[in-house]
A and B are shown apart, each in its own frame.
Chain A
């Protein structure tokens, strides 16, 4: 059997699941979650088959192509529905369907008491289908379809508990902010079409070699805007924190492991365009560096465990974008970090979900503490994820993040030094806030025991099921098997993935045919960089331990410094948006309305009124009397005679 024909099945399986689950109605309520999980697993199995098939081929023959049908066959505008499966797509397919299947499994337990569980699984399958379409498309237009599809699924899942106004608002916010980025992508596609006359990956990337830098920069910046929207990078980052209103599996799958990394995929996929546009690349690295620090600082100040992790996600994607902006030096490491991050961040989120599951859906970390005794599996898996993300030697984060820092220095010049330093600083802050999360949640005194009388400081992010009263003292307990197994598997991935990828530069060789790796000349040796990383890691951890490990943690957050307060408010991003965009937009709209009413309407109405008035005057000539018309005729004849005579005279 020809393996190429299997590619479409990758997308078709979860899509079928979505259709069946969303159209199937109530009679599927009992088995819906199993259908969704099985189809997701089927997709993963097909991915594995294709993967083994791919491994059996030579490096150059690994790119597979499947042309399904011509979508818009117009002369001069050929839009095909065609898939391309190369090493880069393969990586994503395995990550998406693998982590996706695990999270499906997890959701079975997590969403057990939700009566709309079938719909939830339908949305999850829809997301998987769209995401796979995104990474498998062989042209930008089909990628755009998947891009919008994941946006839709994200919107539906963030707002899954739509009865909560905060969730509904968060969904709307995510959707609207994403629209800004989507506009960037659509403009980029249009630019490609006008520049290259096509938008299939192969021709576009080939043709971009000889295209002027200005055009490539324009396309690159538009692609960056798209990536910013989807991957929550500055300045379009504000939606990710609020997106934590969705159920935790959604946060793990969409807003940590897969969808938010679509921006990285887009930039790496369009590598040839960015290679020809150094200015756009610089912009990418700047965005990555800024977001890296931004997310890390926000992560330090949040008491909501999911929001702290969301800040961390933002920061880690900042690393990936930074790496992607470095060009061929960084593409491989961006993707590698993406994969390892997919493992450990999904694991962390699932751990957080497990904690919340045991703690009556409490999300405030100041009301946790000492949970390691009550939920040992969660503690171990979460701890391994923690070690992986801070870059503990030997775990996957260590390999991938270290390489990015190295590549940043290897960029060379002042630029390289600045980017490298920022990446190092980010690593320190990462160590700090992750240690903080760890200490607050699993160590220290059991602060949840004393909160029976205290009313909750902030409303819980997830609704309490009837069985778990908000005011009764929580009874921390380990989560059911269906939740712990995915956590364990993801923890295994967090521990070994990095090492597996790095030994013998396996991952680099795997991706090289697609992304063209380049080693670059680092001013610092690899050992120096690793040493520096270790130092900042220890500094970060120690600082956090002094602040949260040794001293008791107040149940109500202290006022904190100005930076802390700003960071708690997401570094004022919403305020910024409100003042600059909302107010500005309102004023712009008002002034435009004024101009419309006075100037535009004035001209239009004035024209109409003057024409009407003139017609009213002229109408009086049209009195219906034949004799009046006769006068006009004689007058006209007289004028003609006069004109003739005058012409004769002249």
Chain B
């Protein structure tokens, strides 16, 4: 790698370019075509790592490492954090809403690609000098010399820019609390005054098939209660649907449960008959028993 050819590259580099380049393009396409933001982010991270390899192949050793550490490591992680904040599964449909936008976008993309290709093709770029001479004293040293001599002002100003960005991000995301936080007593009194939900809110998944946080608990009549799900999930629209099929299953289970209640000895003697698929039903039945006991 130290002796980079000026005009053509080694076969190894050519092989690497064609293989990894294909993967990079596929990654880029996946970035824009994946429905979920997490997948997009992962594809982009892949593309970036490949680009890092290409930087290394082009003699930009420092940039290759920085690409991996800063870009893939830090910036993409920042993206993932935000995706997490905004909602991992906030899948945005790929259905176009603006008339003609997709066509225009395609035309723009292809047109740009064609234009750039034409520009590069027209340019006389036959003689690559190679970085062998520039990298003689080491790539990092060379960059450092340039940064602290020729580009020192730009470097300092970049520092100012970073500080500004940091402060800006803090200002944008920080929310000043303008009123005193309510004490627990005040909250309790408020709840009593409102008179809506005196006891604690119902837990998710109660009487449902699963007790995951995103599954609404079922009311006695079998309908899901959105109250049982965390407010953030509710706002994101991430309540998992309890389908009618599941309700029917539940009804059948209840039927079975009542049958078994008529013959309680059967249930006790054969606890694992229905397999772990019915653990929810058992749970429900157990809850039913508990309530029965409480009522007695």
Contact = CB atoms under 8 A, between A and B. Distances in A.
Interface of A: 623, 625, 627-628, 631, 634-635, 638, 641-642, 645, 648
28 contacts: A623-B98, A625-B98, A625-B101, A627-B98, A627-B101, A627-B105, A628-B98, A628-B101, A631-B101, A631-B104, A631-B105, A631-B108, A634-B108, A634-B112, A635-B104, A635-B108, A638-B108, A638-B111, A638-B112, A638-B115, A641-B115, A641-B119, A642-B115, A645-B115, A645-B118, A645-B119, A645-B122, A648-B122
A649 to B, nearest CB: 8
Nearest to A645: B119
Given A638-B111, A645-B118, A645-B119, 6 more contacts: A631-B101, A631-B104, A631-B108, A634-B108, A642-B115, A645-B115
Nearest to A644: B119
A120 B202 CA distance: 101
Contacts of B105: 627, 631
Nearest to A642: B115
A80 to B, nearest CB: 71
A631 B112 CA distance: 12
A419 to B, nearest CB: 90
B186 to A, nearest CB: 43
Contacts of A625: 98, 101
A648 B118 CA distance: 13
Contacts of A627: 98, 101, 105
A642 B111 CA distance: 10
Question: Is the interface on chain B under 10, 10 to 19, 20 to 34, or 35 or more residues?
Answer: 10 to 19
Interface string B75-107: 000000000000000000000001001001100
Contacts of B111: 638
Contacts of A648: 122
Contacts of B115: 638, 641-642, 645
Contacts of B101: 625, 627-628, 631
Nearest to B96: A627
Contacts of B122: 645, 648
A636 to B, nearest CB: 11
Contacts of B104: 631, 635
A648 B122 CA distance: 10
Contacts of A641: 115, 119
Interface string B104-135: 11001001100100110010000000000000
A130 B222 CA distance: 105
B52 to A, nearest CB: 27
B101 to A, nearest CB: 6
Contacts of A642: 115
Nearest to B111: A638
Contacts of A635: 104, 108
B109 to A, nearest CB: 9
Nearest to B105: A631
A634 B98 CA distance: 17
Nearest to B122: A645
5 closest A-B pairs by beta carbon, nearest first, are: A634-B108, A631-B104, A641-B115, A638-B111, A625-B98
Contacts of A631: 101, 104-105, 108
A24 to B, nearest CB: 73
Nearest to A632: B104
A625 B101 CA distance: 10
- Greatest chain B CB density within 10 A among A623, A641, A648 is at A641
Contacts of B98: 623, 625, 627-628
Contacts of A634: 108, 112
B94 to A, nearest CB: 13
A623 B100 CA distance: 13
Nearest to A637: B112
A468 B112 CA distance: 108
A425 to B, nearest CB: 94
Nearest to A635: B108
B84 to A, nearest CB: 24
B187 to A, nearest CB: 41
B8 to A, nearest CB: 27
A645 B104 CA distance: 22
Interface in B192-249: none
A623 B108 CA distance: 19
A416 to B, nearest CB: 93
A638 B112 CA distance: 7
A648 B115 CA distance: 14
Contacts of A628: 98, 101
Nearest to A631: B104
A505 to B, nearest CB: 103
A635 B104 CA distance: 9
B196 to A, nearest CB: 39
B201 to A, nearest CB: 39
